Amino acid sequence: MILWLTIGFLVAAVLLCLFRVARGPSLPDRVVGLDLLSSVTVGFIAVYAVVSGEMIYIDVATVLALIAFLGTVAFAYFIEKGGMPWRKT
Amino acid sequence: MNLFLANILLALLWVSLSGVFSPANLLFGFLIGYLALFVSRRAFAPSNYFGVVERLVRFIFFFAYELFLANLRVAYEVLTPRHNMHSRVIALPLRARTDFEITALAILISLTPGTLSLDVSADKRVLFIHAMFAEDEEEVRKDIQNNLEARLLAIWRQQPSQ
Amino acid sequence: MAQNLSAFLMFLGALLMFIAALGVARMPDLFTRMHSSTKSATLGVGLIMMGAAFHFGEVGMTMRAVAIIVFLFLTAPVAAHMLGRAAYFAGVPLWEGTLSDALRGHYDRRTHRLLSDETVQEQLTEGDTAS
């Protein structure tokens, strides 16, 4: 019962992140949404590992936690070094 | 540092003598070794080791408490409908000097109540932070300098007092 | 007992992540959104991982959970710092309720260097308005 409540909260969190990704208004805002989305996914995989009783899913969560950080850093680098399509100069 | 190696050696000795090789037992052996070294500390030359460990443990507890408060405060701000924040970008003069000290301080600032480190100036003297609850700018600055920074730097800077 | 503790920890973690996501969705500007996502999300994932470690109760699982927690606590502030710096530099507007902005004029637009107070003072006295 409490596990389903846990999953419910995580699904709501994913939806709120997607709202921010869709809404913007600027590229960094979307990246914040994506960053949080990846964190929520790591948590989601861990909860799913417990629900299904398969320990192997935790490895997936580990890899995702490693990759997501690189993604955010790459986006930050991109934003700083020139990609600013919302700026009208 | 030598005492730290001796402590690890004692932990390994405890594991091999008790015959149970598990992380929990290794940790237990480390604790017992630390106690043994602490009891016999007058037999060695004065060392920073015990002070560093004590201050580190104190700091971890202090920081866990701060992290808990940070989450409660941000959660309250998110859940209440009106925004009564007073956000500012603040320049914080640094007492931390080396890269390691500045990095540690910046990470810890990002994780504590309503503050987020944005950037360090190129000459490493000023840290710019974004604060969420900063009605009084000076108060936030003093709070970080006297609590977080002072405690963090004291861990390895303070000399043994024997 | 261990099962109840694990379920409770995971529930608390999920609640924190929900609050973080709510903060990201309804905070007024980029920087306050990042406050919400760095703090609550790291602690939330940490709690969920601790819950999973308690549930399985194996050494390898506990090590993995500790590794993920340590990694997140080290990387989340770094990611926030890089993104915040890039966003400020790219000119993302601050919330209109922001009381003061100590960073204004401290960036060298051309070289991407961040100047400290003294250097800016010198430049301003030379009659050169930075930014």
Tens of pLDDT, residue by residue over B90-120, are 888 887 778 888 888 888 888 876 788 888 8
Provide the percentage of residues in chain A whose pLDDT is more than 70: 91
Nearest of C22, C43, B21 to residue A15 by alpha carbon? C22
Does residue C116 contact residue B125 with C-beta atoms inside 8 Å?
A: yes
Residue B67 lies in a domain: yes
Cα–Cα distances in angstroms (integers) from residue B135 to residues B3, B90, B95, C32, C97, in the given order: 47, 12, 24, 15, 11
- Could you give the CA distance from residue C45 to residue C41 in angstroms, rounded to a whole number? 6
Single-letter residue type at C94: L
* Nearest-Cα residue of chain C relative to residue A12: C18
Instruction: Provide the pLDDT for residue A15.
Output: 92
Q: Provide, as residue numbers in chain A, all residues whose Cβ is less than 8 Å from the Cβ of C68.
A: 42, 61-62, 65
DSSP of B46-79: --SHHHHHHHHHHHHHHHHHHHHHHHHHHHHHHH
Does any domain span residue A50? yes
Tell whether B30 and B107 lie within a shared domain.
no
Amino acid C119: pLDDT: 58
Chain A partners within 8 Å of C50 (Cβ): none
ipTM: 0.83
Q: Which residue has the higher pLDDT, B162 or B143?
A: B143
pLDDT category of residue C77 using cuts at 50, 70 and 90: confident
Q: How far is CA A79 from the centre of its chain?
A: 18
Claim to verify: residue B34 and residue B53 sit in the same structural domain: no
Edge-to-edge, what's the strand order for the sheet holding B115-120? Answer: B88-93, B126-131, B115-120
pLDDT at C129 over 50: no
Residue A85 falls within a domain, yes or no?
no
Residue C9's closest CA among C38, C35, C43?
C43
Topology (CATH) of C2-91: Helix Hairpins (1.10.287)
Looking at residue A89, what is its pLDDT?
A: 45
Q: Pull the structure tokens for residue B144.
A: 């970080």
d(CA B9, CA A58): 33
Residue B131 pairs in a beta bridge with B88, B115
Identify the H or E element spanning A67.
helix A57-80
The full set of domain ranges for chain C reads: 2-91, 103-131
The Cα of C22 is separated from the nearest Cα of chain B by a number of Å equal to 7
Which range marks the domain in which residue A42 is found?
2-80
Evaluate whether residue A31 is within a structural domain. yes
Residue A87 lies in a domain: no
Q: Give me the residue from A26, A28, A50 closest to C52, CB to CB.
A: A50
Q: Residues A57-77: what's their mean pLDDT?
A: 87
User: How close is the nearest chain B Cα to the Cα of C39, in Å?
Assistant: 6
Is the model's pLDDT at C112 over the cut of 70?
no
- The answer to whether the CB of C130 falls within 8 A of the CB of C105 is yes
Same domain, B77 and B152: yes
- On whether residue A45 sits in a domain, the answer given is yes
> Nearest 5°: phi and psi at B118?
-100, -55
Given pLDDT bands bounded at 50, 70 and 90, which one contains residue B77?
Answer: confident
Q: Which domain holds residue B151?
A: 49-157
* Spatial distance between the Cα atoms of A75 and C93, rounded to a whole number of angstroms: 18
The reported pLDDT for the residue numbered A14 is 92
Domain match, B28 and B62 both: no
Confidence of residue B158 (pLDDT cuts 50, 70, 90): low
Residues 5-44 of A with CB under 8 A from C: 5-7, 9-10, 12-17, 19-20, 26-29, 31-33, 35-36, 39-40, 42-43
